[in-house]
Amino acid sequence: MNATLNRWLTGQIGDLKSNNLYKEQVVLESPCNNRITIGGRTGIINLASNNYLGLANHPKLVAAACEAAQTWGAGAGAVRPITGTLKIHVDLEKQLAAFKHTEAALVFQSGFTSNAGVIPTITDANDVILTDELNHASIIDGVRLSKAQRKIYRHCDLGSLEDGLRASMAASKRLIITDGVFSMDGDIAPLPGIVQLAKQYDAAVMVDDAHGSGVMGGGRGTAYHFGVHKDVDIQLGTLSKAVGVMGGYIAGSRELIDWLTQRARPFLFSTAQPAPVVAAIMAAIDLMEHDSSLTDKLWENAAFWKSGLQGLGFDTGVSQTPITPVMIGEESMAMNFQKALLNEGVLALAIVYPTVAAGKARIRTMPSAMHSQEDLEDALASFKRAASSVGLF
């Protein structure tokens, strides 16, 4: 390896470790369930997963994936525009469009590539993008790929957004982009107000509903939750969180989807999803559409978990959703608390800079439909003991 590059890498990694910002990889030795195995230790309560509904291991999804592998094989064999579009891909996109109540949908390999695909493809140098300051990293990178001017508005601040809209009236197009549910704090974007401003200032609206899909609006997302889905031009969803599998998608007008198939680079230059993945997603969407019991259980568990943490004296921030941060502040304390929790039999990860602002470290907890009340009661007891062991209380 080049000596100069190696010295730089060694120095960067050393800096991360000395500043309590280095994160070890967590290796699961079991499926992603309510209780998992790590390092040979069984029964660890899993509060770190995005598997909100427990669908990642659902028997119907597993069976659908196995059947599709026998029918279609293990891989698609090409990018979508060549020979990688299988009929099952088209069937999934029709299902997603119907589920989201939009004209059409287009599936990408991930939520991250969905943002990288759509944002620079529908904007150019004559446009302005208005983006919430706490938007997900994939939105930030998608905006950076665009030649459009960007204006960052204060988090969920409609006044700040309106200032940006007023200042960008000379642009050819204006695109407002926001997360529906913000992944680190668990709060919800004020979509009715955003839509109203968009109409007033002739702007388009894009909502990244990665953490709203399967969770809000009966599973259809944040826009549907607020009843403004007909006024949102672009909806992004992931297929790897509540849906439990892998991928992302854009839902919107037929013209939008048609344009993306012609110009969105991740769609044009990445091999299509394997059929077993697609079949498992279709089984998950079918379950979400016809059975609300898992979503109901998720919200029941989230309410119990939040109440329990707050009763113990923990600060859960501004969360309005199952994403429940335990606010710590100092990075080294958050990392120590994560280790203490694991010693107590709970996996809940510290989130530190640059994922969140310096000095705003937290333990991010994710109750799910998988958890029993006993799981959550045991986890609360572990949080209390771990907090005492590190001097948090």
Residues carrying an active site annotation: 183, 211, 241
Alpha carbon 291 to chain centroid, angstroms: 22
Relative to beta strand 128-132, strand 349-351 is: unpaired
**Residue tagged 């998988």 (tokens):** 370
Relative to beta strand 128-132, strand 149-153 is: parallel
**Residue tagged 């010693």 (tokens):** 343
The amino acid that residue 331 corresponds to is: E
CA distances from 268 to 109, 239, 284, 295 (A): 11, 19, 26, 35
Q: In what order do the strands lie in the sheet with 204-208?
A: 104-108, 248-252, 234-238, 204-208, 174-179, 128-132, 149-153
Distance CA 304, CA 180 (A): 23
Distance CA 142, CA 220 (A): 23
Return the SS3 of 234. Answer: strand
Q: What is the DSSP letter of 84?
A: I
Give the CA radius of gyration of the chain.
21
Residue 112, judged by CB atoms within 10 A of its CB (0-12, 13-18, 19+), counts as buried
Distance CA 297, CA 28 (A): 25
Query: Nearest Cα to 89, choosing from 227, 260, 277?
Result: 277
**Contacts of residue 47, Cβ cutoff 8 Å, sequence gap at least 6:** 346, 347, 348, 365, 366, 367, 379
Asked if 276 and 260 count as a contact pair (C-beta separation under 8 A), the reply is no
H or E segment to which residue 141 belongs: helix 137-145
Alpha carbon 386 to chain centroid, angstroms: 28
